[in-house]
A and B are shown apart, each in its own frame.
Chain A
Amino acid sequence: MSGGLCGSSPPPGVRRAAIRAWAIVLFCCVCLAWLVPDGADATPRGGIASTGGWGGPPSESTADHTKFEELEGPFPDGPSVTEACLHCHTNAAKQLHDTTHWTWHYDNERSGQMDLGKRNVVNNFCISIESNWPRCTSCHIGYGWEDDSFDFTSETAVDCLVCHDTTGTYHKVPTEAGRPDPAIDLVEVARNVGPTSRENCGACHFNGGGEDGVKHGDLDTSLNEPDFALDVHMDAEGLNFSCATCHTTGGHEVTGSRYAPNALDRVGIDYPGHTDDTRATCESCHGLEPHPDNSKLNDHTDRVACQTCHIPEYARGERLTKVGWDWSTAGRLDEDGSPITIRDERGYILYTSKKGDFAWASNMTPEYRWFNGIVEYVRMGETIDPSGTVTINTPSGDVDDPDARIWPFKVMRSRQPYDVGHSVLALPHVFGKDDTSFWNNFDWPKALEAGMAAQPIRFSGDYDFVETETYWPITHMVAPKEDAVGCNECHTKGGRLGALTGFYMPGRDTYPWLTLIGWSLAGLTLLGTIVHGLVRLIATLRRRAG
């Protein structure tokens, strides 16, 4: 062999030693820079200035409502207050008439499903609004939705106060079709209106399902005064966001509906006038690459919703949320024929004759699904397959759908009545002081007959119970970043995303055949070297001895 120029040991020289020393110093610097922990930045938690203005005191307004003659009253009822408001805010009621807060009706253009919305859909809590109006419409932003004949064009039927009260004294009677408690001083309330606060929205949205925290799992009254650990944005001592800080409004239309969620925001930071003027996604403030010093995490944002990692658990506040409801056991009475209520030691109802058995939970790990923002509903009168679990609202999307990301959900599981004759979800008439309502009579056939009377599909006369589930996207109660879900909770066998298949996830997925062949061959090689070595050893020893 020939060729080659060097290869001889270099003569030791001072210059080389210096270069070596520098190289070592440089290497150490690199190592040190690497070792400094990510959290070592000096920004205080919630590094943005508080935006008190959003939910701030009414005094920031240019108008002092206590000075207005129109508001001197007296006000005998809600509509008379509204009339006064409309004197100046002439278009307000018309604006509200166009919102889902008023119509409870939603046509989903994206999915093509029409006639959705709170007024039409079926769920697996109290099942359906139809025929139970006065109870359910206590959370309508109007007065007097007693039944089907409610006049949706009435301007004075709009309830301004439920959203704009700042005194904290205004509330609707739970069973009075949205009318306020007659004991309330409406003049005082009307003279102290202001921007919406967490309490205003929470009066209905924290109490979905009829009680504090029941429905959503990420919304309950702990968010009235949350600390940093419960919600980094609403932290009462910190950023103190109100709901409207993110759920921006324009003309009384509130962004961020559960009927039309934006599951993947490709716009990023929202610039007024340039984009869609909504901050109802995380990206609209945090942008599309929200982790400044971890590009690996930014690599995830196209397929994993922010909420998936940053809301490690739901029902993290003081309240439990309802996770199971068995209607089939409802109607059991004691020896005297009186309804029963059983509570646990904290006061949560475990069984009540009116409703059946409940299951409650807190600090729950969400379930994860691909979700592109479209929810497919099983609407009233649509055929179901009662042999399995009926998913009443299915989040659409899968790994091959570029618009879908992995989202966290609360899954509510129930057993509820269905019409055996027609294979449709049954719609019981539960509320009302009549002789058909279930909560008065505990008679399923009567309640179903009455509940479905006004429906396109009438009760066949034969009913049974079916397992159902509903999906509730989790997006509130954002935890401090230290508490976010770590890599290892998903990138492992049997981790959080175990239910999502059809894609390769490092740390979770392997090719079992490759693992088997690989380790076998490596093991055989090792064995071969050991045998070879032993044979050599023995041969050497023999020769020495012999």
Chain B
Amino acid sequence: MPRNKKELVMVFSRFERFWHWSQAILIIAMMVTGFEVNGAYQWLGYEQAAQWHRFAAWFLIGLWVFVIVWHAITGEWKQYIPTRRGIMAVAKYYTAGILDPSVPHPYRKTRMAKHNPLQRLAYLAFNVLISPVIWISGLLYMFYNDWYRTGLDGPVGLGDVALVHTAAAFAMLIFFVGHVYLAAFAGKPFYAYLKAMITGYDLLYINPEADGDRKS
């Protein structure tokens, strides 16, 4: 099979699409309610905002537990292993090449390597930095009243936890803005990535050795 041939391939399984979009909804809800708690605006009112925030947090935690298990079992976690190979070419593409419709994306996306080096870095940051920090600080925030059982009480105050949590929330917001732009508008055509995450199918290079039986 010629290496340059692209084919329509199922890249995002039903489970992946489900978790991606539920995570999207939950994180938007958490941002909307969280930043209201933070006093950025008044919409639901503090009580409702905090309540929905805590409620959504449990769903998000539940979802993440599923997703982590899924990644561990399927080996899909390897999609996020960072690589330096080709990173400059991708960066150059997003700054210049993207302006010219005739310049193709330098990254040869395959089924088992569907994220380009920049994506890997961004998602890795999301997975191992922003998310865990938000989780841990959020849970500490939620169980503030039970700290005295842990001996944590004393050196760390609620204000410190709120500081970390809010900082991570801003990092999440910034990630979100960049991600939405790149994912929804930076494909060729501009909606290509979005479409893939909705339908599950994308045009990929077929790597016969590794992916031979994976198209569907």
Contacts and interface: CB of A to CB of B under 8 A. Distances in A.
B173 interface: yes
A177 to B, nearest CB: 53
B78 A3 contact: yes
Given A504-B158, A507-B46, A515-B38, A529 B74 contact: no
A536 B103 CA distance: 13
B214 interface: yes
A1 B51 CA distance: 43
B42 to A, nearest CB: 8
Contacts of B167: 514, 518
Contact of B13 (A6, A296, A510, A535): A6
A48 interface: no
B216 A539 contact: no
B98 interface: yes
Interface residues of B, number: 49
A521 interface: yes
Contacts of A493: 39
B14 A488 contact: no
B74 A5 contact: yes
Interface string B170-181: 100110011001
Interface residues of A, number: 45
Contact of A506 (B40, B50, B182): B50
B76 A7 contact: yes
A487 B50 contact: yes
B215 to A, nearest CB: 8
B10 interface: yes
Interface string A394-414: 000000000000000000000
Give the secondary structure class of B's interface. Answer: helix
A486 interface: yes
A518 B74 CA distance: 36
Contacts of A533: 181, 185
B181 A1 contact: no
Contact of A34 (B47, B55, B73, B74): B55
Contact of A521 (B47, B163, B166, B170): B170
Nearest to A517: B170
B145 interface: yes
B99 interface: yes
A439 B13 CA distance: 91
Given A5-B75, A522-B170, A302 B181 contact: no
Given A488-B47, A514-B170, A518-B170, A526 B177 contact: yes
A77 interface: no
A1 B112 contact: yes
A536 B78 contact: no
A193 B177 CA distance: 78
Nearest to A7: B13
Interface in B74-122: 74-76, 78-79, 98-101, 110-113
Contacts of B181: 529, 532-533
A518 B173 contact: yes
B162 interface: yes
B47 A504 contact: no
A539 B99 contact: yes
A540 B101 contact: yes
Nearest to B175: A525
B94 to A, nearest CB: 8
A59 interface: no
A526 B176 CA distance: 10
B208 interface: no
B170 A4 contact: no
A492 B46 contact: yes
B132 interface: no
B145 A302 contact: yes
A2 B100 contact: no
9 contacts: A7-B13, A9-B10, A296-B51, A299-B144, A488-B47, A491-B50, A522-B173, A522-B177, A536-B98
Given A1-B79, A1-B110, A5-B73, 11 more contacts: A1-B112, A1-B113, A5-B75, A7-B111, A8-B10, A504-B162, A509-B159, A509-B162, A514-B170, A529-B181, A540-B101
